[in-house]
Amino acid sequence: MKIAFAPLLIISLLSPQLHASDIDKDTATRFINSFYQAIQKHDLKAVGNMIDNKATIKVLWTQADPPQSFTISKADYLQQLKATWHFATNESYEIKNIKVSFVDNVTTVSLQETENRTLFGKKAGQQNELQIALGGDTKSPRIISIQNKTKLW
């Protein structure tokens, strides 16, 4: 009996590693660029399809005293995007310093993002340091979590 379980144990231990490697660095980078193109185009359906339904978005607002953190769902995140698109003009999103790594067998993309817009007639923006975890595989990666450290102006 013990011998029969050994191969299953080995396979189960290796499965997450094989699954994580399905999303390589080039695929992850293309996916993130496509995600931000969908945001820039205000394509809520495309953005929604790129985020897993159970994804969590954690935000740390560094300017608050003390800094505040909160977690929102995919639905809340999409609602925030929709509201921003409705009320803002002259939007721009710039991403840079994209780095892909494998953290705890999960493909993780780190990047810096700058957002600028005019909101209710005033210039506004934010600087974000993001850690975006991807699940799925090369054919259909999805965002499973976002951790964001943000500074507003």
Interval 100-120: pLDDT, tens? 999 888 999 999 999 999 999
Residue 123 has pLDDT above 70, yes or no: yes
Beta bridge partners of 129: 112, 149
- The pLDDT tens digits for 46-75 are 999 999 999 999 999 999 999 999 999 999
Residue 136 has pLDDT above 50, yes or no: yes
Whether the Cβ atoms of residue 137 and residue 19 lie closer than 8 Å to each other? yes
Tell me the helices (H) and strands (E) count for the chain, helix number first: 4, 6
Residue 20 has pLDDT above 50, yes or no: no
Work out the average pLDDT over 14-34: 75
